[in-house]
Amino acid sequence: MVPIDTYSPARLGSAVLNKKECRMTDRLSIAIAQINPTVGDIAGNVALIEKYVTDAGALGADLVVTTELAVSGYPPEDLVLKPGFQDCIEIAVTELAKSLHDKNLPAALIGSPWRQDGKLYNAALLLDGGTIKHARLKHELPNYGVFDEKRVFEPGPLPGPIPFKGVRLGVMVCEDLWFPDVAECLQESGAEMLISLNGSPFDVDKVDVRLNIAIERVSETKLASFYVNQVGGQDELVFDGGSFVVNPDYTMVVRAPFWTEALMITEWHRSADGWVCATGHVQPSLSREENIYSAMILGLRDYVTKNGFPGIVIGLSGGIDSALSAAVAVDALGADKVLAVMMPSPYTSADSLEDAAAGAKMLGIRLEQVNIGPAMNAFDTMLAPLFESREPDITEENIQARARGLTLMALSNKLGHMVLTTGNKSEMSVGYATLYGDMCGGFSVLKDVYKTTVFALSRWRNANYPLSALGPDGMAMPERVITKPPSAELRPDQKDEDSLPAYDDLDAMLQAMIEGERSVDDIVKLGYDVDTVKRIWRLLDRAEYKRRQAPPGVKITGRAFGKDRRYPITNGFTKQI
């Protein structure tokens, strides 16, 4: 059994400490191990942890703190319920503890699933002296948005501090920081600093929210807060790092880089008022556009590389969505791993052909052309007896999209490349997308990006070089791609706004409906026409069946389609609007 010191007011956390643990120290070097684990790769994750501990030891660290569930990868979902998976974790952690000791490496506080008394917990484990010396079990289990932890874990008891070198460490796991109870319990039971292991997914507003939550806990406990966050992509989630330390005076004295793995040594000393951290590197905040673009790069890069795809294939139409998606793909993977295909129809404009070619040249990617005219003619011939006496309509438009989808999937099958879809959140919200057509593919970087944000990101990318980008340092798409009116080009002179409100208005209404959960009446009060609002509301609900069949994509907003927003397909409430 691993020791778990739970809260007891009578004890004030003076849990049994042996003589070695009672030896006081006035200084500690604690390393931030901001790592990018892979879900399920237990051996790889343990090797990654040991590498970081080794590197931290060379820099003089006493203790290395990893991210939440670093051993299993986060989030492991139902994989963690497999008894064989749990067995492998216990063996790996036990061997890691012994290896660190045998190599005379620092102690490590690691995140891992852990069985205790026949129950499974989300735990922080202190590896020291060749053993798993202490465990702290996550008390607050999130069960909202993208989180389903109550499905797989048991909640732990309110914890007491962990003794380490005579210092009582107030250890928490992610959600424990978001509510005052755990921090209050730790402070009352004698903790001298707060240490939080996190797997906190990115969304555009999360950076400031995390910092504010940490400052709230500092304010309540008067203890410094040490916050370590995961980095990397896992299916639809992406983690931005940005680990930090906030002192008791509310000053942020350390912040790790965003969007990349990092090892940082933080230097602590005991003052008259308690433990404080010396000022170190503080990574500046990033702009909204840079954060979103970086999230798309890392989300796509990890999805492709962790799943072993050799590259991606993308339909390059000459429009802004495919141009931005291609730029992200090149920045994430490099030009040599991106194949672009232009698939013109009789309705494709000369401007689109020129813009696709110019964009491919700017990005340095291979561009092939496959004319779908013969496929359109073949379907016309095949279906003529059944379509007799019926005027052309959206059916023929969808056949074009499906011919393109079939072409891309055929190339994917033949080459092994994953198809990257290019639809944005505005289109997916109202169903302005074709099942088995432009929705075909394995992943989407624009799935949670509204059209107005697509324009903003395109302008930003043409003027800036993103973090960790592998693409060109300069413009990534022709200016005309950004300035011309968006069009699906499935019929003569077609424009998106023939079927939809102006994107500024559409996106504002959609954000009110999706992220804001506002009613029709509330949105009308914002100045929008009641019939238009009702129409968009109905389109949003009716397109749920399409979204259920869409590929995964990077979560950007606070309410992404999928785990964040789960609505029934069969929905009679829509008829009442």
SS3 label, residue 339: strand
Query: What separation in angstroms does the CA of 406 have from each of 373, 381, 442, 446?
Result: 14, 18, 13, 21
- d(CA 197, CA 189) in angstroms, rounded, equals 20
Instruction: HSE, CB side, 13 Å, CA atoms: give it for residue 84.
Output: 1
Show Cβ contacts of residue 196 under 8 Å, excluding neighbours closer than 6 positions.
Answer: 171, 172, 173, 174, 176, 177, 214, 225, 226, 227, 228
Residue 185 annotated among the catalytic residues of the structure: no
Q: And the tokens for 309?
A: 């795809």
CB 487 within 8 A of CB 320: no
Residue 555 annotated among the catalytic residues of the structure: no
Instruction: HSE, CB side, 13 Å, CA atoms: give it for residue 29.
Output: 12
First to last CA, the chain: 58
Nearest to 538 by CA among 500, 496, 576: 576
Catalytic residue among 68, 192, 427, 489: 68
Q: Tell how strand 338-342 and strand 366-369 pair up.
A: parallel
Catalytic residue among 133, 174, 236, 440: 174
Nearest to 311 by CA among 327, 325, 332: 332
- d(CA 313, CA 343) in angstroms, rounded, equals 13
- d(CA 293, CA 426) in angstroms, rounded, equals 17
Q: What element of type H or E holds 54?
A: helix 42-58
DSSP state of 328: H
Catalytic residue among 138, 425, 451, 546: 138
What is the separation of C-alpha 562 from the centre of its chain, rounded to a whole number of angstroms?
A: 13
Nearest to 93 by CA among 75, 113, 118: 113
Active site members: 68, 138, 174
